[in-house]
Structure 1
Amino acid sequence: MEFRRLGRSGLKISEVSYGNWLTHGSQVEEDAARACVAAALDEGVTTFDTADVYAGTRAEEVLGRALKGQRREGLEIFTKVYWPTGPGQNDRGLSRKHIFESVHGSLKRLQTDYVDLYQAHRFDHETPLEETLRAFDDLVRQGKVLYVGVSEWRPEEIERALKIADEMGFDRIVSNQPQYNMLWRVIEPEVVPLCEREGIGQIVWSPIAQGVLTGKYLPGQEAPAGSRATDKEGRGADMIAGFMRDEVLRRVQELRPIAEELGLTMAQLAVAWVLQNPNVSSAIVGASRPEQVRDNVKAAGVKLDADVLKRIDDIVDPLVERDTDKIQSPATRP
């Protein structure tokens, strides 16, 4: 495993991190989830990403049990706050009340005294940004949170947060967690240049486009049984739907010869591709089976030369989404 600094902070994290969205507590049984975590640890992964909302808080519980007994100082545990975790009006958003209640719930479920990174899962248009950032800063000062970050924030929202933090003496955000892969590059025009200037690292999710970039989905054919595209209950099918067009699946199959020439699987090529971006601190991979973890982590340390990157671009460019306006948080709390 290779390691990178998280933005300009002193924290080092594994190039490939393990995330349990759409799997732990919902798509796979706990024994399988724990086997995946064990495989990640065996492969040198030290960074684990979750959120209070995943599987209705159950994902944090599963991860907490899976990591129990590990040396806490050797792990980086990340979680998030924003989406609803209960029926009340204050069981969501980034108010001081919800942030404090949410972090205490997360710490209990994760069975830890602190989280290494606490992230605003979306931007809250109903809460003053000063209130959110002060609450985050208080948690840092209390030692319950070591670093703070955001997820899927627009460039102007990140800029506002940095300005307020500097004016009020708060800890700055050190990370952004966006969707990023060969097909979805909405952070490239504005978010990445801003973050490079300001010392913010990207912890990217969906580097294999919900599994589409593995090449297992074939144009004109039914999705394989048990795959994410068939997961209606856990929302996997909804999330992958935008990539499941035949024109996309045909282009993805054209990437296979490149992967084979490099001695990589399709998944390894996709994860390695996002890691070529120097602003990416880590690529989050999820899994329902340990062998998927072992396959994906082999992308760490892989270098793709300029010719390979151009060949990939030539294949996928007509389908790439780069519109920064696709980065959106709900106008009102969900």
Structure 2
Amino acid sequence: MEYRRMGKSGLQLSVLSFGSWVTFARQTDDHTNERLMTQAYEAGVNFFDNAEVYSAGLSEEMMGRVLKKLNWDRSSYVLSSKAYFGWKGEDKKPNQHGLSRKHLMEACHEALERLQVEYLDLYYCHRPDANVPMEEVVRTMNTLIQQGKVFYWGTSEWTAAEIMEAHMIAKDLGLEGPAVEQPEYNLFNRRKLEVDYAPIFRNVGMGTTIWSPLASGILTGKYNDGIPEGSRMSLEGYEWLKDRAVVEDKINRIKALGDFANELGVSLPTLSIAWCISNPNVTTAILGATKVDQLTENLKALEVLPLMTEEVKQKIDDIMGTKPVVIRN
């Protein structure tokens, strides 16, 4: 396993990590979850990602039960959660979501209880909240750090301007700004990480924990001939993925990328993940898997990483046609 420093922090994350967004949403069997987490941990994965909204809090509970049973040395792994959406679904009251001090403090306490741990290594503001002053967010996240409940705080799907505003306010107050951002990044979604965040990487320094490196499974090639029964896109609540991703042009490009992967002697998923982590501004790519063989295959991306030469990456750009165009004045 390769480990990378999270931005300018001293924290080191495995370049491949394990997330529970869809994994635990489809998996109610603690035994299977235990096998997957154990497999990841034994492969060198040290970062496990979660959030209050995943399966309405049940994902944190399941991961907490597994962690308690496995009883790994707490200092040997990094654990995260996120707050914004709340976990009570449509029944949530006004202060049970968002980034107010009340919700962030209460959500953190609930996450600690569900995960059965004393602290979170990473705690994210899962989305920006225009209804809460940025100073309140910055102060609250620093309060959690000062209380020892959180070690580093971060953002997820914030704009570059919002992240920089948080840093400026934190600097004025003598507090810590966000150390990490969790954006979507894959061969279909590149602009934010490659263009928008470039000044932050250059001037401030920031770690990234990437979600959906396989574009919600599209980059595995399993949707090339339709939507398989039981796949993520066939699940209730994931209909939006069909409209966003399954279009003829994308499928044709994925098929061409699959042919190129075959030429290289690797699988399409491992090529796509290896491409993602070949970006030096990627700290870790979060893997989601519901089967042991699926996780085994995705972890092989580390073996493919050395193949990511500039020539190979240029060929991938030519096939996909998704490299952001930067217009300079």
Q: Is the Cα contact below 8 Å between 1:258 and 1:308 reproduced in 2?
A: no
Match of 1:34 in 2: 34
Q: Secondary structure at the match of 2:26?
A: coil
Q: Secondary structure at the match of 2:217?
A: helix
Match of 1:194 in 2: 200
Hey, what's the Cα distance between the residues in 2 that align with 1:176 and 1:199?
11
Q: Secondary structure at the match of 1:315?
A: helix
- The two structures, once aligned, show a CA RMSD in angstroms of 1.6
Once the two structures are TM-superposed, the CA of residue 34 in structure 1 deviates from its matched residue by: 2.4
Q: Is the Cα contact below 8 Å between 1:196 and 1:279 reproduced in 2?
A: no
> 1:209 pairs with 173, 191, 215, which one?
215
Aligned residues between the structures: 317
User: Which shows bigger deviation, 78-87 or 1-10?
Assistant: 78-87
TM-score by length of 1: 0.91
Give the partner amino acid of 2:195.
Answer: P
Once the two structures are TM-superposed, the CA of residue 194 in structure 1 deviates from its matched residue by: 1.9
Q: Which runs of 4+ in 1 moved over 3 A?
A: 321-324
> 1:226 pairs with 230, 233, 236, which one?
230
Hey, what's the Cα distance between the residues in 2 that align with 1:240 and 1:102?
31
Once the two structures are TM-superposed, the CA of residue 322 in structure 1 deviates from its matched residue by: 4.7
Identify if the C-alpha distance between structure 1 residues 192 and 237 changes in structure 2 by more than 3 Å, giving closer, same or farther: farther
Q: Secondary structure at the match of 1:172?
A: coil
Post-superposition Cα deviations, 1:160-194, rounded to whole Å, max 9, x if no partner, equal: 00000100011121111000001111212211332
Match of 1:330 in 2: none
Post-superposition Cα deviations, 1:184-237, rounded to whole Å, max 9, x if no partner, equal: 11212211332332110111111000111111111xx331121111112xx334
Match of 1:244 in 2: 246
Post-superposition Cα deviations, 1:225-260, rounded to whole Å, max 9, x if no partner, equal: 21111112xx33423531111211111010113222
Match of 2:72 in 1: 70
Match of 1:138 in 2: 143
Identify if the C-alpha distance between structure 1 residues 21 and 162 changes in structure 2 by more than 3 Å, giving closer, same or farther: same
Match of 1:57 in 2: 57
Match of 2:284 in 1: 282
> What 5-or-longer segments of structure 2 have no aligned partner?
none
Hey, what's the Cα distance between the residues in 1 that align with 2:26 and 2:114?
19
> What 5-or-longer segments of structure 1 have no aligned partner?
325-334
Q: Is the Cα contact below 8 Å between 2:7 and 2:207 reproduced in 1?
A: yes
Q: Secondary structure at the match of 1:254?
A: helix
* Percent pairwise identity: 38
Identify if the C-alpha distance between structure 1 residues 133 and 270 changes in structure 2 by more than 3 Å, giving closer, same or farther: same
Higher relative contact order (CA 8 A, sep 6+): 1
Q: Secondary structure at the match of 2:94?
A: coil
Once the two structures are TM-superposed, the CA of residue 45 in structure 1 deviates from its matched residue by: 0.7
